[in-house]
Amino acid sequence: MRKYIAEFIGTFFLVLTIGCTVIPGAAGVIPPLAIGAALMVMIYAGGHISGAHFNPAVTLAVFIRGKCEAKNVVPYWIAQVAAGIAAAFTAMFLTGKSGEPPIVQNVPVIFVAEFLFTFALAYVVVNVATAKGTAGNSFYGLAIGMTVMAGAFAVGGISGGAFNPAVAIGAAVMKLRDFSQIWIHIAAELAGGLVAGLAFKALNPDDK
């Protein structure tokens, strides 16, 4: 149970940070910096308890890589999605409003953007937080947080920069995304996590 609570807390504060910076339309570099920093500090806070996935796509990658038991996958996903929804309502309460979903004009572009940077995120996670070669390092939280920050800067204006199905669902609750279109994010992000896990196994065949 401790692991699932840790997953809920970390995901909650990640999505809350997104909502409280994106809904009011914070200018310039503020949302990507805040989101990357929130993920980084929550990873340092919860990594020793749950592994600090805070993302169903990352959980899938870690499972494929062999460092998450099958019995934990669905409970992790439930905790993460529940946290995303709770954080979305909290963000709307704090800001006093919801967002405005953009019109999706190019599904393949959004899919590819979300796939690529979710792959990058999950690939970084499995390499810095689960690999034997980087065991015991102190940079894993910073590396993971900065991957999300880089993705938000790079493709946030193209796809919304969710890189996380729990974030995508929370964004839909906040009306930052249309519910009818979040399948694009969820499918792309889970595919990115799956491929990242497979890539790790292919590149590190002796790291079980």
- Give the whole-angstrom CA distance, residue 182 versus residue 139: 32
Q: Are 166 and 182 in contact (CB under 8 A)?
A: no
For residue 196, the model assigns a pLDDT of 98
Identity (one letter) of the amino acid at 138? S
Domain that residue 156 falls in: 2-203
Is 116 a domain residue?
Answer: yes
Task: Give 119-173 as a DSSP string.
Answer: HHHHHHHHHHHS-GGGTT-S-HHHHHHHHHHHHHHHHHHHH----SHHHHHHHHH
Spans of the chain below 70 pLDDT: 27
pLDDT digits (tens, 9 = 90+) for 36-91: 999 999 999 999 999 999 999 999 999 999 999 999 999 999 999 999 999 999 99
Is 88 a domain residue?
Answer: yes
Is 64 a domain residue?
Answer: yes
Is 208 a domain residue?
Answer: no
For residue 29, the model assigns a pLDDT of 85
For residue 25, the model assigns a pLDDT of 82
CATH code (residue 129): 1.20.1080.10
Is 166 a domain residue?
Answer: yes
Question: Hey, what are 117's tokens?
Answer: 């940077």
Is 141 a domain residue?
Answer: yes
Is 135 a domain residue?
Answer: yes
Is 91 a domain residue?
Answer: yes
- Give the whole-angstrom CA distance, residue 28 versus residue 70: 41
Find the DSSP H helices in the chain: 2-22, 30-50, 56-65, 70-95, 107-129, 140-159, 165-173, 182-203
For residue 26, the model assigns a pLDDT of 75
Domain count, the chain: 1
The three-class DSSP label of residue 204 is coil
